[in-house]
Structure 1
Amino acid sequence: MRPRRPALLAALVLGLALVAVLWWRIPWAATPTVGDPTAGLGADQLDRADAFAAALRPASLANLALGLLVSGLLGLTRSGARVVTAVARPLGGGWVWRVLLGTLAITVLGRLATLPLAAYGEVVRRRYGLSTRSWSLWTRDVVVDTAITAGLTALGLLLLVGLARRAPRTWWAWAGAGAAGLVVAGSFLYPVIVEPAFNDFTSMPAGPLRTELLALAEENGTPVEDVLVADASRRTTALNAYVSGFGSTRRIVVYDTLLQELPDDQVESIAAHELGHVATDDVLTGTLVGALGAAAGVALLGWLLGSGPLLRRAGADGAGDARVVPLVLLLVALGTLLSTPVQNGVSRQLEARADQHALDLTEDPDAFTAVMRRLAVANLNQPDPPAVWQWFFGSHPTTAQRVAAAQEWSR
């Protein structure tokens, strides 16, 4: 038990530091009072959003449950350890190949198990006009996403197991520092590595909208290098925009669907919201929270992987044994699930602050209200979803809350 105690203590200290950062950096404000839960949407639009949710949510929950079940079967029985050993045997069975190929195999098995539900979700999105992908493009996206996930996870686990083999008592401290560093690096690398894997980007042609968006960024005190258009219409009819990058790589990105569907003042309102995240350093906040959370999670993992009964169930001898990979993946999945409502609660607060920033920057509550309604219709969002669903899965305020906030701002 003694080697486990420092890991548990470190997890508690890092957890307290995370709470302090959340208290300091997050604008914990009350949600606006909603007078109209329909947010002004028509009966047909409400019925369509309700029908879409009724068709998709059960499959989403089943997908989540099935993924956890597969992870549990592989992580809490010796079957996962057997898979890790078997896939590496043709290459000599060394621990490096066990980690790399074992992670790939476990990830692919989990993805294959949930693939029918994912395909059903795609069918629903196509039926309601949200997805424009061909099945070949959908398959490509699944393969690319699986490859990126498996590759990054395998490298992380290779680092973890390698450290555990070299420093059996303190590996979790070194791995925690590495995980925090990877979160920071990911914030910089995501726009230049992951985003281009799914979309092509072109500079928005010169014109009034481009000029206005660049001017908006200057007025915001956060100038951008470029305004890019993403070819999102190849995959979806959803409307979106965001700001990515840091410093000289910062750019406003708008979906081409946005340009096709919305007038310029509404596009500017969305861009002002995204620029609000930049002005209040929300990416920095997210990176800091993510780094502390990752370090705390690895420390907690160090404590859990010191449990003899848990290791015996997984068929592994310790954190330095490559057969621990399925157990680690299960524990990470459980940690992600348990932290989801906390992450989304933080996200909702940041999004609400960005809404207020957009209203202050554009001084156009009518455009803001109009675009919130258009987004709800285009993305088939319920304006006032069930409270439990919103608490657990809602990363943004509801449409009804955002419209109410604009009305409060006007008053």
Structure 2
Amino acid sequence: MSARRVALVAAALLGIAVVVVIAVRTPWTVLPEPPGGYTEPDPTAGLDPDRIERAEAFADALRPASLLSLVLGLGVSAALGLTPLGARLMRAVGARVGGRWTLQVLVGVPVLLLLGRLATLPISAYAESVRSSYGLSTRSWWLWLRDVAVSLAISAALTVLVLLAFLWLARRAPRTWWAWAGAAASGLVVVGSFLYPVVIEPAFNSFEPLPAGELRSDLLALAEENGTPVQDVLVSDASRRTTALNAYVSGFGSTRRIVVYDTLLGELPDAEIESIVAHELGHVAADDVLTGTLMGALGAGAATALLGWLLSWTPLLRRAGAGRPGDPRVVPLLLFLVSAGGLLATPVQNLVSRQIEERADLHALELTRDPEAFVDMQQRLAGTNLGDPDPPAAWHWFFGSHPTTAQRIAMAADWARLEGP
């Protein structure tokens, strides 16, 4: 069997493994059907007309910009990756740095990423102005530019490291590079899951312990009752950037902590904050991060094997102006294929995410036994975060990572009916 065919078979087998993990680990039916059937979601989610009108106006202002940014970013990536343009750029960089392939990657990759970011930067600035005009963003333009620069720098650094390893393997093992790269990519997903809370999060926010008091004690007790004790309860300085309300649990073992946005404190009653945290603890109890890491690791392996098949197709390499997988001129094509693959996987990822989020909602209800606080919290989050309680079905199918506010409130009503008076 040819090396190209082996790569395709490996991609198929790993893809099947991903499907199996998704099928087994995704909670497809979260709540049994109550007597009389499930509650029909109220499109208004109980919000007053003014809030709904404001949320819909906000969404109408951002959705076209989001689509344009997506199309433009992918278009720039395609122009660089599916034509000789990107290869010529890499070759020009190589000529200036002495022709060494490592230096071509070190210099060329940041240039490619910068071009893509500059193409969509005006749209991002427009989106930021919309968020600011609606009171969601509190960032100054200098802080916004700083966040853009830090994000681009982190992305460029990680991408350079990954591509250096990728090309090194492709040059050292021309027939089996994809297998080694797949193993490395899978390992990187696992390592990234553990390092993100202690490396990436501090690059954008500062964290301070929540002062001693009833809320801190209740949240720590909630984690204990959940069977997933945490090391600390931290407050993130989210208000430097946004007025949005949120909380999450991050880390594993000794690094696990509850993080609440400072925007929550003083804005929500303790019962509603506890409901949000109980939802996040539901993810921990169900090992959702570990499941996501497993799916990501298998998916990375499958994607790398598929790249091994695609990058051994001579007509594709010629179209991109590259000679072989170990050629630095293949980098623009590789970046495009990764972007296109991520876009194609988005609806599947969000389908799984919506089911997992629904299970976490159920966990919050069972842990707190307070459906009223849950409903009040959902309505408050929708109103403050300007979430559309009932977005267009097609948009929600593709981009929605959580159930709609209307669906979440309907599920709480079903849970209350099942639990009885």
Deviation above 3 Å: which 4+ runs of structure 1? 30-33
CA distance in 2 between counterparts of 1:129 and 1:299 reads 45
For 1:38, the equivalent position in structure 2 comes to 44
For 1:29, the equivalent position in structure 2 comes to 29
CA contact 2:39–2:413 (8 Å) conserved in 1: no
- Alpha-carbon shift at residue 33 of structure 1 (Å): 4.1
Alignment pair present for 1:244 and 2:243: no
For 1:2, the equivalent position in structure 2 comes to 2
Could you tell which deviates more after superposition, 30-39 or 360-369? 30-39
CA contact 1:84–1:105 (8 Å) conserved in 2: no
For 1:179, the equivalent position in structure 2 comes to 185
Q: Report the AA paired with residue 62 of structure 1.
A: L
Where does 1:301-380 land on structure 2 (aligned, <5 Å)? 301-380=307-386
CA distance in 1 between counterparts of 2:290 and 2:238 reads 26
Where does 1:3-402 land on structure 2 (aligned, <5 Å)? 3-29=3-29, 33-402=39-408
CA distance in 2 between counterparts of 1:235 and 1:283 reads 26
* Deviation digits for residues 160-215 of structure 1 (CA, Å, limit 9, x no counterpart): 11100000000000000000000000000000010000000000000000000000
Give the CA RMSD over aligned residues. 1.0
SS at match of 2:168: helix
CA distance in 1 between counterparts of 2:271 and 2:29 reads 28
CA distance in 2 between counterparts of 1:8 and 1:30 reads 36
* Deviation digits for residues 217-259 of structure 1 (CA, Å, limit 9, x no counterpart): 0000000000000000000001110000000110000000011
Q: Report the AA paired with residue 88 of structure 2.
A: R
* Deviation digits for residues 286-319 of structure 1 (CA, Å, limit 9, x no counterpart): 0000000010000001111011111001110111
CA distance in 1 between counterparts of 2:65 and 2:30 reads 32
- Alpha-carbon shift at residue 91 of structure 1 (Å): 2.3
CA distance in 1 between counterparts of 2:115 and 2:266 reads 40
* Deviation digits for residues 322-360 of structure 1 (CA, Å, limit 9, x no counterpart): 100000000000000000000011110110000000000
Structure 1 runs not aligned, ≥5 long? none
For 2:415, the equivalent position in structure 1 comes to 409
CA contact 1:222–1:278 (8 Å) conserved in 2: yes
SS at match of 1:260: coil
CA distance in 2 between counterparts of 1:89 and 1:357 reads 58
SS at match of 2:264: helix
Could you tell which deviates more after superposition, 99-108 or 269-278? 99-108
CA distance in 1 between counterparts of 2:393 and 2:29 reads 18
- Alpha-carbon shift at residue 16 of structure 1 (Å): 0.5
For 2:34, the equivalent position in structure 1 comes to none
CA contact 1:52–1:380 (8 Å) conserved in 2: yes
CA distance in 2 between counterparts of 1:346 and 1:35 reads 20
- Alpha-carbon shift at residue 83 of structure 1 (Å): 1.2
CA distance in 2 between counterparts of 1:35 and 1:67 reads 36
CA contact 1:340–1:392 (8 Å) conserved in 2: yes
TM-score of the superposed pair, with normalisation by structure 1? 0.99
TM-score of the superposed pair, with normalisation by structure 2? 0.96
SS at match of 1:252: strand
CA distance in 2 between counterparts of 1:376 and 1:88 reads 51
Given the superposition, is the C-alpha separation of residues 155 and 198 from structure 1 closer, same or farther in structure 2, using an over 3 Å criterion? same
CA contact 2:97–2:104 (8 Å) conserved in 1: no
- Alpha-carbon shift at residue 90 of structure 1 (Å): 2.7
- Alpha-carbon shift at residue 261 of structure 1 (Å): 1.3
- Give the total of aligned pairs: 411
CA contact 1:341–1:391 (8 Å) conserved in 2: yes
- Alpha-carbon shift at residue 88 of structure 1 (Å): 3.4
CA distance in 2 between counterparts of 1:93 and 1:148 reads 25
SS at match of 1:259: coil
